Amino acid sequence: KDLSAYGPAGSGAPAAGGDDDDDDDDIDLFGSDDEDAKAERERRLAEYAAKKAKKPALIAKSSLLLDVKPWDDETDMAELEKCVRTIEADGLLWGASKLVPVGYGIRKLQINAVIEDDKISTDFLEDEITKFEDYVQSMDIAAFNKI
């Protein structure tokens, strides 16, 4: 039997056009997108990729506060600072410095440095600073902040 035969009791005749089976082509619920939608999607993806490529990559930087300790109170701190500032590398920028009293007349050098995390490591800085054995007893990182 036709599906329309099971309708309300008052409708004795089946609905007109019940034999037409091509009605389901009007709305395709599970079909794929048409060509225009695919082209639009591809165009938007290409625009997004181009826009993303134009942005510069974020460079991770860190700010360090280094404590450079001399051997004794007779160490020439001006020469110590000159030696530390002679260390140059790509991604390393020296900042302000000051002499901080430690005790018994000994002062340590506190110096700021900004490094690019991908290019400079703290181990590199420590190795380079402690190479000045005549002036430097030890080096510590007093503060380490990501920028």
Read off the tokens for 141: 């990182």
**What b/e string do you get for 103-129 counting C-beta neighbours within 10 Å, with b at 16 or more?**
eeebbbbbbbbbbbeeebebeebeebb
Tell me, what's the pLDDT at 125? 93
The answer to whether 29 and 41 have CB atoms below 8 angstroms apart is no
Tell me, what's the pLDDT at 78? 93
Rg from Cα positions in the chain: 38
Tell me, what's the pLDDT at 38? 84
Structural domains of the chain in order of their starting residue, each with its CATH number? 61-146 (3.30.70.60)
The answer to whether 60 and 117 have CB atoms below 8 angstroms apart is yes
Tell me, what's the pLDDT at 28? 57
Tell me, what's the pLDDT at 99? 94
The answer to whether 101 and 70 have CB atoms below 8 angstroms apart is no
* DSSP result, 42-60: HHHHHHHHHHHHHSPPPPP
| pTM (whole model) above 0.75 | no
Residue 4 to residues 9, 25, 128, Cα–Cα distance (Å) = 11, 20, 91
Q: What is the mean pLDDT of each run of 10 residues along the chain (147 residues)?
A: 68 54 56 73 86 78 94 92 94 94 92 93 93 93 93
